[in-house]
Amino acid sequence: MDDMSKRLQIDYINVSKVQFGCKTELKDGVLSINKTELLEMAKSELFGSFDIKIAAPGDDCRILAIHDCMQPRCKAEAPETSYPGIWGKLAPMGDGRTVALKGVVISDIYYAKCNIKYYLDMGGECAKYSNFSRHYHICIDATPNEGVSDLSYAKALKNASLTINVFLAKLAIPLKPDKTEIFERKPVDPAKKLPKVAYLVTHMASHDTWNFLYYGQSALNFLPFVVQPTEILDGAMIWRYWEPNYFLQNEVYIKELMKRHGKDLEFVGVVFSNNVMKIDDKDTHGMIAANIAKETLGADCVMINKSGMGHCQLDSTLMFNWCEKLGMPAVLNFSAVSNDEPGDMLVVADPKVDAIINSGRNWTLHHPRVSTLIGEKANVPCLLNLDPWGPFDHETNFCYQGIWSQLGDNYVSTDVDIPRKEA
């Protein structure tokens, strides 16, 4: 493999407490924020109301319509280029030094119309079913102004969230990191004869507000394309109100493949594909992605993943079959497709697709009454006809934030290095 790799260094600063204060600062693990300052810098005329709230691990608190969670991060040498094309100035990502706050997330309360919205318990018995209950949440609680379209509101909300995200991350630039991760794909000695593995991923991009952006460009009508894996870890791609971007910032398969590169495999690169609606288009995208993996990246075998619902199961299945036709053995990840019986939530069942990882499952949880509700007026379709304050019973599937991600994260194994706090 040619030395085309970028070297990304992520320095983490642990945050043990978040509180409101007179001055925004990060000292001895305590993040203090001046609420007035943050509201002023992130305000928008597109918001009808705008508030910032803090939810702490162990709080007797339920967060409604929590549609995105992101780790505060920025580029250390040029913070103004963070999340380029989406928020910051255009610049290539995936190289150099990035700083990140660990133990706190910026969480967006989403008021636009959407048939899937999530909620989260910060304390009590149900908290353990989400990795996000381990984190402090700085909640961006902004409603759309009268007459503002869903797309304009979504853009304004994400801009406000990223403005606060980068502002807080900049506090970590001069600090000594608690942990450092290095991601780099160095050339592999051919004498090792390691299997060359490509990573193929289909992401949901079905309309303006369920979309992913690559350097600010909408993925609608994108054809499959090659990306540097470190770009994804470094903010080049953002989901627009689909899954929490925390799972992109910490993409579990990219991290695993990067760590194993040069040891028991050669990670040759990533191909992204866009979820499309028509069966012929899905088949075409699958063929193009598989062909890129074989002819451009030189892959021997392929790991396939997706972030999307049943439609993306079909995209992945067709992609799997094309990889196998081109001589590349494939494995694919489907999240939470088996509960009590094998494959009881599989949308497709092709006997040729014979290597599936089932990551995560769903549960029916009993949610007690809480004393604090953030996003009380947000419409959460899965909680219609229920009292969101509790008590109620509900299944976690596409409802409970952080029980699993489409990409393979699971509450049992994600963020286990962040200790849980009891109320």
Can you state the percent helix, strand and coil of the chain, rounding each to 5? 25, 30, 45
Report whether the peptide linkage leading into residue 391 is cis, meaning its omega lies within 30 degrees of zero. yes
Give a yes or no: residue 232 inside a domain.
yes
Where are any strands of DSSP class E within 90-133? Answer: 96-102, 104-109, 119-121
pLDDT tens digit sequence for 300-344: 999 999 988 778 889 999 999 999 999 999 999 988 887 777 667
Give a yes or no: residue 88 inside a domain.
yes
Give a yes or no: residue 257 inside a domain.
yes
Give a yes or no: residue 420 inside a domain.
no
Number of folded domains in the chain? 2
What are the two backbone dihedrals, phi and then psi, of residue 153, each rounded to the nearest 5 degrees?
-65, -45
Give a yes or no: residue 404 inside a domain.
no
Evaluate whether 248 touches 174 at the Cβ level (below 8 Å): no
Q: How many residues are recorded in the chain?
A: 423
pLDDT tens digit sequence for 132-144: 999 999 999 999 9
Same domain, 266 and 367: no
**Residue 78 CA: distances (Å) to CA of 85, 94, 170:** 14, 13, 10
- CB atoms near residue 145 (< 10 Å): 16
Same domain, 24 and 166: yes
Q: How far apart are CA 95 and CA 93, in angstroms?
A: 6
Same domain, 390 and 339: no
Question: Is 384's pLDDT higher than 90?
Answer: yes
Same domain, 204 and 88: no
pLDDT tens digit sequence for 202-236: 998 777 777 889 999 988 889 999 999 999 999 99
Same domain, 264 and 176: no
pLDDT at 299: 98
Same domain, 151 and 240: no
Same domain, 97 and 217: no
Same domain, 84 and 215: no
Categorize the per-residue pLDDT at 397 as very low, low, confident or very high, splitting at 50, 70 and 90. Answer: confident
Give a yes or no: residue 408 inside a domain.
no
pLDDT at 15: 98
Same domain, 26 and 118: yes
What are the two backbone dihedrals, phi and then psi, of residue 76, each rounded to the nearest 5 degrees?
-65, -40
Same domain, 353 and 247: yes
Same domain, 327 and 375: no
Give a yes or no: residue 352 inside a domain.
yes
Q: Of 305, 334, 361, which residue constitutes the final position of a domain? A: 361
Give a yes or no: residue 406 inside a domain.
no
Evaluate whether 58 touches 44 at the Cβ level (below 8 Å): no
Question: Is 66's pLDDT higher than 50?
Answer: yes
273 CB burial (10 A radius; 0-12, 13-18, 19+): buried
Same domain, 264 and 355: yes
pLDDT at 343: 65
- Domain residues for 324? 187-361
Q: How far apart are CA 26 and CA 277, in angstroms?
A: 46
Work out the average pLDDT over 373-400. 94
Helices (H), 204-346: 229-233, 246-249, 252-260, 279-291, 310-325
Model confidence, pTM: 0.95
Q: Which two tokens stand for residue 397?
A: 């599937």
Q: Of 361, 391, 410, which residue constitutes the final position of a domain? A: 361
DSSP conformational letter for 264: T
